[in-house]
């Protein structure tokens, strides 16, 4: 179950077999499930644990009193929802399941033991947090400056590359359980505008979307249309020099 996390962290540092075993042990300590379209933890709740997505898709969102909401992040297997959230007195956002989600609830004490004894894991987790911040900056740029066409294209490419980086996508194809409403809430567009933009991307031969399966006939062309620079994802094994000394 921990494989996606180990794969992701190894983008940032070279982990030993003992490091990987420690991650697996931590992820099995307390496993929970959330049904589709249910909140896992809500704004205002006491954040007592660190949540690690083991399977399924989830999102981070902020809501308004009238029911409108903005999705500010998607979570896939191998993602921590918030590494240091337990230092807060209460949640300032909500984590919601998109599909059925299985997640590990890791206590602060377990996280402390893991990072104190495993310096490579600690370095990889720092990198994980820096990449999450980089993704947030890119999302802000996406909403503030890109057109609807570029905005949707950029998000689709990002999600595919993130899935591919943890072994959950290949051959320019991936599962895609996100709805048009989800895309609208993540990109600041209306569902009607999202639908029109997806149809335009289809007509241009850049995507095929059917039965919750997304395919890119020409990924390079789509990346060009989105002005996509993957540098913010830091997936080129930049931490390979952080040798775990197996």
Residue 181 phi, psi (nearest 5): -65, -40
Q: Is residue 53 included in any domain, yes or no?
A: yes
Handedness of CA 218, 221, 227, 229 (dihedral sign): positive
- Output the CA torsion sign for 237, 240, 244, 246: positive
Considering the domain architecture, whether residues 144 and 172 belong to the same structural domain is answered as yes
Residue 2, pLDDT > 60, answer: no
Q: State the pTM of this model.
A: 0.93
CB 138 within 8 A of CB 64: no
User: Which of 129, 151, 185 is the C-terminal boundary of a domain?
Assistant: 129
Q: Within this chain, do residues 204 and 152 fall inside the same structural domain, yes or no?
A: yes
Averaged confidence pLDDT in the chain: 92
Pairing of strands 101-106, 208-210: unpaired
Pair 116, 173 in one domain: no
pLDDT-derived band at 89, boundaries 50, 70, 90: confident
Please check whether residue 39 lies inside any domain of the structure: yes
* pLDDT value, residue 205: 97
Last residue of a domain, one of 74, 95, 129: 129
E-only strand ranges, the chain: 31-34, 39-41, 50-55, 58-63, 69-75, 94-97, 101-106, 173-175, 208-210, 213-215
pLDDT classification of 242: cutoffs 50, 70, 90: low
Residue pLDDT, tens place only, 97-128: 999 999 999 999 999 998 898 999 999 999 99
Contact between 6 and 232 under an 8 Å Cβ cutoff? The reply is no
What is the tens place of the pLDDT at every residue in 125-178?
999 999 999 999 999 999 999 999 999 999 999 999 999 999 999 999 999 999
From CA 199, how far away is CA 220, in angstroms rounded? 19
Same domain? For 164 and 64 the reply is: no
For the stretch 35-58, pLDDT in tens is 999 999 999 999 989 999 999 999
Q: For residue 235, what pLDDT is reported?
A: 85
pLDDT, position 29: 83
The domain in which residue 209 lies consists of: 131-233
The answer to the question of residue 214 being in a domain is: yes
What pLDDT is recorded for position 245?
46
Q: Which of 88, 112, 129 is the last residue of a domain?
A: 129
CATH number, domain with residue 115 = 2.60.120.10
**88 CB-side CA count, 13 A:** 15
Q: Is residue 104 part of a domain?
A: yes
In a domain, 9, yes or no: yes
Number of CB atoms found within 10 A of residue 203's CB: 8
| List of residues 6+ apart from 116 with CB closer than 8 A | none
19 and 92 housed in the same domain: yes
User: How many separate domains does the chain show?
Assistant: 2
Mean pLDDT of 166-194: 96
Statement to judge: residues 140 and 47 lie in one domain: no
Q: Read off the pLDDT band of 246 (50, 70, 90).
A: very low
Both 10 and 119 in a single domain? yes
Residues 6+ apart with CB under 8 A from 130: 234
57 and 16 in a common domain: yes
CATH number, domain with residue 160: 1.10.10.10
Q: SS3 for 83?
A: coil
């Amino acid at each position: 179950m921990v494989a996606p996390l180990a794969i992701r962290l190894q983008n940032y540092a070279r982990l030993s077999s003992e490091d990987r075993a420690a991650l697996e042990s931590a992820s099995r300590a307390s496993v929970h499930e959330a049904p589709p379209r249910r909140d896992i933890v809500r704004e205002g709740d006491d954040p007592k644990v660190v949540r690690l997505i083991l399977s399924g898709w989830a999102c981070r969102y902020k809501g308004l009193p009238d029911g409108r909401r903005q999705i500010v992040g998607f979570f896939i297997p191998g993602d921590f929802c918030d590494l240091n959230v337990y230092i807060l007195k209460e949640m300032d956002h909500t984590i919601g399941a998109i599909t059925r989600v299985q997640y590990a609830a890791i206590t602060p004490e377990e996280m402390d033991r893991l990072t104190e004894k495993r310096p490579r894991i600690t370095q990889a987790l720092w990198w994980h947090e820096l990449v999450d911040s980089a993704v947030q900056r890119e999302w802000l740029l996406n909403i503030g400056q890109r057109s609807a066409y570029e905005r949707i294209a950029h998000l689709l490419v990002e999600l595919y590359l993130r899935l591919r980086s943890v072994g959950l996508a290949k051959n320019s194809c991936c599962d895609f359980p996100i709805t048009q409403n989800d895309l609208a809430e993540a990109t600041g567009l209306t569902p009607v505008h999202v639908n029109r933009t997806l149809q335009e991307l289809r007509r241009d031969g850049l995507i095929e979307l059917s039965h919750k399966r997304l395919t890119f006939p020409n990924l390079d062309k789509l990346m060009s249309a989105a002005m996509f620079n993957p540098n913010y994802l830091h997936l080129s094994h930049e931490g390979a020099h952080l040798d775990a000394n197996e």
